[in-house]
Amino acid sequence: MHNSACAVPWPAIKSVNYKMCLHRRPKNPGRPSLSPPSLPCRAPNSAAMSKGRELNGHLEHNSEQLADFLASKERLTERITGARADIHTLRSHVAVSRKEFDSQLEHLRKQVTPLLPAEQAVSKAPHAPPSTPAG
């Protein structure tokens, strides 16, 4: 008879899993074996197989979720890249518009300043207080 720690009866092991089970029938059943203790039986265990199927299901589900996450991450990365390009373009337009505005303002100052009396001359400061006559 094979090791009593093995839960699978000998005929089942012999027919189903003979090569995997390390609890082989002793050559001399009447005498105790001098061989070292054998490893646990590797016969199929339905609870372990069921747990394995359950874990495989979780693994497949997690793999699907990971694939969905990576796809959405890729889409968001593309949107962020596009938004950054738009921001760069807008900053360029603002810089150009600001330069155009400054040049037009300077041009108007040059046209208006000679027409005003000295105390009302247009200041280059954008928010200068109006000058008051001393008197």
Q: Is residue 86 part of a domain?
A: no
| pTM of the entire predicted model | 0.41
Instruction: Look up the domain containing 2 and give its range.
Output: 1-44
Q: Is residue 110 part of a domain?
A: no
SS3 letters across the chain: CCCCCCCCCHHHHHHHCCCCCCCCCCCCCCCCCCCCCCCCCCCCCHHHHHHHHHHHHHHHHHHHHHHHHHHHHHHHHHHHHHHHHHHHHHHHHHHHHHHHHHHHHHHHHHHHHHHCCHHHCCCCCCCCCCCCCCC
Q: Is residue 4 part of a domain?
A: yes
Q: Is residue 102 part of a domain?
A: no
pLDDT tens over the chain, length 135 residues: 445 555 555 554 444 444 444 445 555 555 555 555 555 556 667 888 888 889 999 999 999 999 999 999 999 999 999 999 999 999 999 999 999 999 999 999 898 888 877 776 666 555 555 555 554
Q: How many domains does the chain have?
A: 1
